[in-house]
Structure formats: structure tokens, C-alpha cells
């Protein structure tokens, strides 16, 4: 019988795909293994420990932690107790955490460190439902309501041994349609909403993914995206279920080192990872000279020609195939070794991937498979596969899901992984689920072969004063590809032309200022100079060459400091909150539109 709940998935993996290195974490300078049996033992202890704290089926238990083995142990323990996991991004400030915990009515919170504990101490008096806090890094309990993770688990292990049947009975009472988790969406256009996903929702997605990907015990994965996001969490369930070894990256900064230590065969990433990797590769190429530069240029030229044949479905000529073999041995092997040397492919999600990046890395023998989904769909709707991919698309819908395009271009989907609804928000649930079809809010189309292409968010579409429809995200991706620009937000709804808030690369700006002989007392002052404004506008024009006139950015507002989560300008998944940013820079934008551009639409 196929697994019905997430707990069933876990049991299936431990009983039939057990491995000595199910989880790996860096301790004392090395990646230390945790076996499947050890993980199960820790889960059992924590289930009983949570029960001793008063956890009951249906209770909401928050999980506020960076990626580490205790995250998965806590997650499965919460679910095994019949409770509901409310994951919280560890990057969120305390005032935002307060809103989520109160909305969900959280009874217990499990968190990682003293840093996260300080956030809770700031707000705990404002959360009447909160009864207990468990800290992973706390050695000794400070009170009945503040417990250490290991101590609580140890007490629970003893309680489990005394009465295992009592806890197993609770586990057996968990049904597929029970709520497994409430995940608060990023909220780019409004306050976060709690997405209720059932065990059946998530299990359906995991099983479908296990059928289209051939993961097994020979694979290993490096976990680097936050587990509080549904993308990484379901990837975790999938890998554990398929018997894949999961290693936790120490931090984003140490991912390059961890890649070489872990030697993963698959990694789930967001496009920003590939943008940074591409920038490093290009910088290395530009700094090389002589024979090394010649070999690099030759190899990438060969790779590009070879990739064109692959993407067109034609067989490369024998001579080109041989050159590609040589290029791989002489040049590309070094890049592949930097990624661990065993990588089969990357999976990209969370934001649109520039097709040119996917083509660039494939030319070097590195395959990136882009997928698409939302928290509300548990999450994967469509994904490219190793033997069936098309760059510029997010792949074909999973076999168990239906997808169609509405008359206005919105992507709709229907199937077992569509959420139960938004927590305590029935009206907003009815707005997005109509006749069983979930309205994604994304604009896209299906090609003749069923590959889905996403063009933009429906709510982000700009309609200029001239009546032209403009999708800002593709333009922003072009601008951010410029070495001069770190970030960009395109605006212009109901305006005569487009403008952009741009975050320049400070080094590029100051270097240009020195070339012009400009004197300045501060970087902020320099950004306001006409010469730098012209420099940035030229960078924008160069990046977006070839766009239609109405898609062209006519003016820019330089922004001194990049957008951040802490300032409320980014969601935890690093998506720009357009309304917040536009409101924050309202005066600058109004002043910009008060002047006429030299080349209006």
C-alpha cells in the first residue's frame, strides 16, 4: 500500500531504504553521519517529549531554525504527534514572527539557538497561546516552559519505552486529509496568508516526483535552501523517501567548500546561485591570459555549438563531439570538480531562471532543470526532467496534475496537491480555488508539446498610460545581468513610460567616477550626480537592447543600499515587495516623472 501520510513516507524510508548516512552535518571539522535508525530514535523521543509538554493532535507547533538534522527530527515528531507544523523563516525579525505565531495560535515553538530565542523573548508576552519553548542548543532547562532539545528528547525516550503503544496509537489516528502544516506565504502584495497543506497534498507531490526522477541510494544531496520553504522541505521528503543521503550546508557562504566535501549528485537551488556562479566563471575567464585564455574561449565556443545541437534535437557532427570530449577533459572538468565532481544536475526553483544561464552551464556540461510551483500546490506543478527538458520553460506538468491557461493568460491547475485553503480565510480561499481549479496568479502558456512557460505575475503586469501591457520580470532579469547593476525594479503602471529603481554595483560606480575625475564626499552624493545617472541609464539601455520601445526603461532612480528582508523590502524567499518599495521611494519616483524623458513612448 502506498504511503498515505508524511509519517508513512518516513516509516517507509527507515524500514526499507535505511542507510548509515541518512543525514550528514558538519561537526568538529568533518561531515558526521546520522543513520536512519538514529533519526527514528530521536523522532520517537521527541514525540513523547512534546506530549509531556502538552502537545495534542491538532495543536500548532512552530519550528524556527536553520537547516540541520534537528529540523527534520522536529518536523516528523510534530507530525507523528498529530500536531501541525508551522515553519518560520529564521531570517524573519521578531515583529513579523509575532504576527505569524498569533495568527496560527501556536502552542509550542521549537527553535535553534540563543539568537532565535532572543527574538521570542522580545514578543512572547504578546503571544497568549504560547505555552512552551524548546531550544536545540540549550543544554539545561531554565524552567518548565523553556526546555533544552536534547533533554526533552531524552526524557521522551524513556517515556516511549514505558508505553510505545500509546504514542503509536496517536500516530495511527493521523489521516491523509488532516492538516500537516500551515506555511505562511511570502506576501509580496499583502500580509502573509497561512497555507494549509494536508498530509495527502504533500504525499501526492512526493510520490509523483519519485516516479519522474530516478533517485536512489547512490545519490547524495546538499541542502542549502531554507527548510521553512516548501520547495526545500518537499525535496527533503523526496530524498529521504528515495534513500538519498542528505548533507546540510554550513551556510550560504560555505556552499562552495561544502560542495567539494559532500560531492553531491543533485542540489536544489534558486537562480541567484547560478547568477553568482556565472559571474565567478566569467571573472576567472577574463583574468586568464595566454594559452589558458585561448583554451577557455575555445572550450566554451565548442560547448555552445554542441549545446545548440542538443537543444535542437540534432546529433552533433562527429568532429564536434570529439572536440566537446576534449573540452570537457581539459577545461570543464575543473569547474565540475569545484561542484564536487559527481553532480548529475541542479534543480532550480523559487524564481524564474534566465534561459541563457541554463544554456551557458549546459555548454560546460552542467545541467540545470527548472521547475515551477507554489506553496499552495505543495509545491511542484511542472518540472523539466533529465531526459525531457526545454530551456525557457518550467517543464511539463506532473502526471498527476492538470494544467490549463485561462482566457486572460493565467495558469490554472487542479489535482491532489492543491491546498486545503488559507487558514481562517475562507473568502480568500474561494477567490483562488474555483470549481476545483487553483488560480496561480501567474501568466503563462503551454507550447504544443505541453511545456509550460511562465512570463510574469498577474498582479505585477504593468499597463502603461498608452495601454501597453508590460511584464516587468523579464526586463528586470535583463537589467540584473549587467555587471553594473545588483538589483532592479521596473515600474510604470498607468504612467507614460517605464522607469526603474536600480541598485548599482558600488565598485563599478566609483571606478567610473574616478575615470571621469569626479570628486565626491559620499557614495550617496555620487549617485545623485548627472554623470552617474547617465552611466547607469546607459548600462540599462545596453542590457535591454532589442526590447520594444514601450518596454524600454527611460529613466532610473539610483538606490544606495540593496533591498533587504530586515527593511521589509524583500520576502524571506528574496522576492521584492513591489508595493513596499514603490511606497518607500514615492517622492523620488514622482520627481522623476515630473520631468519629460528625451525619448518617451
Q: What is the DSSP string of 192-217?
A: --EEEEEHHHHHHHHHHHHHHS---T
Cα 403 to Cα 290, 385, 450, 495: the distances in Å are 52, 18, 9, 34
So what's the pLDDT on residue 164?
A: 87
Three-state helix/strand/coil letters over 484-528: CEEEEEEECCCCCCEEEEEEECHHHHHHHHHHHCCCCCCHHHHHC
Cα 589 to Cα 413, 465, 535: the distances in Å are 37, 16, 19
So what's the pLDDT on residue 190?
A: 62
Dist. CA 181–CA 202, nearest whole Å: 10
- Residue extents of the structural domains in the chain: 35-174, 461-593
Contact status, residue 135 vs residue 111, Cβ threshold 8 Å: yes
The DSSP string of 117-141 is HHHHHHHGGG-TT--EEEETT--S-
Cell of 352: 524564474
Contact status, residue 189 vs residue 375, Cβ threshold 8 Å: no
The DSSP string of 377-392 is GSSEEEE-BTTB--TT
So what's the pLDDT on residue 6?
A: 98
- 82 contact partners, CB below 8 Å, separation of at least 6: 56, 57, 58, 170, 171, 173, 174, 178
So what's the pLDDT on residue 599?
A: 52
So what's the pLDDT on residue 219?
A: 97
Q: How many CB atoms are located within 10 Å of the residue 312 CB?
A: 8
- 487 contact partners, CB below 8 Å, separation of at least 6: 480, 502, 503, 559, 562, 563, 576
Residues of the chain with pLDDT under 50: none
**Domain spanning 461-593: CATH superfamily:** ANL, C-terminal domain (3.30.300.30)
So what's the pLDDT on residue 597?
A: 58
The CATH number of 35-174 is which of 3.40.47.10, 3.40.50.980, 3.90.180.10, 3.40.50.1370?
3.40.50.980
So what's the pLDDT on residue 491?
A: 92
- Predicted structure pTM score: 0.86
Cell of 379: 509545491
Amino acid at each position: 500500500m502506498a504511503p498515505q501520510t508524511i509519517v508513512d513516507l518516513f516509516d517507509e524510508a527507515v524500514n526499507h531504504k535505511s542507510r548509515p548516512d541518512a543525514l550528514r552535518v558538519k561537526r568538529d571539522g568533518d561531515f558526521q553521519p546520522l543513520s536512519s535508525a538514529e533519526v527514528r530514535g530521536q523522532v520517537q523521543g521527541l514525540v513523547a517529549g512534546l506530549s509531556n509538554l502538552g502537545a495534542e493532535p491538532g495543536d500548532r507547533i512552530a519550528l524556527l531554525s536553520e537547516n540541520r538534522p534537528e529540523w527534520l527530527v522536529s518536523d516528523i515528531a510534530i507530525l507523528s504527534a498529530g500536531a501541525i507544523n508551522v515553519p518560520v523563516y529564521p531570517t524573519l525579525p521578531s515583529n513579523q514572527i509575532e504576527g505569524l505565531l498569533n495568527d496560527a495560535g501556536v502552542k509550542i515553538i521549537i527553535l535553534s539557538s540563543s539568537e532565535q530565542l532572543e527574538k521570542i523573548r522580545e514578543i512572547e508576552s504578546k503571544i497568549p497561546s504560547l505555552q512552551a519553548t524548546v531550544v536545540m542548543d540549550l543544554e539545561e532547562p531554565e524552567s518548565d516552559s523553556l526546555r533544552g532539545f536534547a533533554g526533552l528528547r531524552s526524557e521522551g525516550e524513556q517515556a516511549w519505552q514505558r508505553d510505545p503503544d500509546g504514542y503509536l496509537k496517536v500516530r495511527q489516528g493521523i489521516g491523509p486529509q488532516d492538516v500537516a502544516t500551515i506555511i505562511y506565504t511570502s506576501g509580496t502584495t499583502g500580509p502573509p496568508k497561512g497555507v494549509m497543506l494536508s498530509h495527502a497534498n504533500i504525499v501526492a507531490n512526493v510520490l509523483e516526483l519519485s516516479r519522474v526522477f530516478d533517485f536512489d541510494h547512490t545519490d547524495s544531496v546538499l541542502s542549502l535552501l531554507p527548510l521553512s520553504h516548501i520547495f526545500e522541505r518537499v525535496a527533503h521528503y523526496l530524498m529521504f523517501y528515495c534513500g538519498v543521503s542528505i548533507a546540510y550546508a554550513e551556510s550560504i557562504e560555505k556552499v562552495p567548500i561544502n560542495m567539494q566535501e559532500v560531492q553531491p549528485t543533485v542540489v536544489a537551488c534558486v537562480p541567484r546561485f547560478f547568477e553568482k556562479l556565472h559571474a565567478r566563471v566569467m571573472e576567472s575567464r577574463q583574468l586568464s591570459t595566454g594559452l589558458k585564455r585561448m583554451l577557455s574561449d575555445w572550450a566554451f565556443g565548442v560547448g555552445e555549438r554542441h549545446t545548440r545541437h542538443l537543444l535542437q534535437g540534432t546529433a552533433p557532427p562527429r568532429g564536434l563531439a570529439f572536440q566537446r570530449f576534449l573540452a570537457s577533459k581539459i577545461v570543464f572538468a575543473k569547474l565540475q570538480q569545484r561542484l564536487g565532481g559527481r553532480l548529475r544536475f541542479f534543480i532550480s526553483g523559487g524564481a524564474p531562471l534566465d534561459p541563457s544561464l541554463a544554456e551557458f552551464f549546459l555548454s560546460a556540461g552542467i545541467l540545470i532543470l527548472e521547475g515551477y510551483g507554489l506553496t499552495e500546490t505543495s509545491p511542484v506543478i511542472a518540472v523539466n526532467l533529465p531526459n525531457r527538458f526545454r530551456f525557457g520553460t518550467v517543464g511539463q506538468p506532473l502526471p498527476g496534475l492538470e494544467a490549463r491557461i485561462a482566457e486572460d493568460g493565467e495558469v490554472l491547475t487542479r489535482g491532489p496537491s492543491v491546498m486545503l485553503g488559507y487558514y481562517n480565510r475562507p473568502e480568500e480561499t474561494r477567490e483562488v480555488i474555483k470549481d476545483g481549479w487553483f488560480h496561480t496568479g501567474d501568466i503563462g502558456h503551454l507550447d504544443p508539446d505541453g511545456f509550460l512557460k511562465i512570463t510574469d505575475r498577474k498582479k505585477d503586469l504593468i499597463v502603461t498610460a498608452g495601454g501597453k501591457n508590460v511584464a516587468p520580470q523579464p526586463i528586470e532579469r535583463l537589467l540584473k545581468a549587467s555587471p553594473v547593476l545588483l538589483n532592479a525594479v521596473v515600474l510604470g503602471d498607468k504612467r507614460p513610460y517605464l522607469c526603474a529603481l536600480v541598485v548599482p554595483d558600488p565598485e563599478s560606480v566609483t571606478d567610473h567616477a574616478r575615470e571621469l575625475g569626479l570628486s565626491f564626499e559620499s557614495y550617496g552624493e555620487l549617485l545623485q550626480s548627472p554623470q552617474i545617472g547617465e552611466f547607469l541609464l546607459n548600462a540599462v539601455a545596453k542590457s535591454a537592447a532589442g526590447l520594444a520601445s514601450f518596454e524600454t526603461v527611460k529613466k532610473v532612480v539610483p538606490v544606495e543600499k540593496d533591498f533587504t528582508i530586515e527593511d521589509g523590502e524583500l520576502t524571506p524567499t528574496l522576492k521584492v515587495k513591489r508595493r513596499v518599495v514603490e511606497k518607500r521611494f514615492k517622492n523620488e519616483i514622482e520627481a522623476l516623472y515630473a520631468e519629460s524623458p528625451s525619448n518617451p513612448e
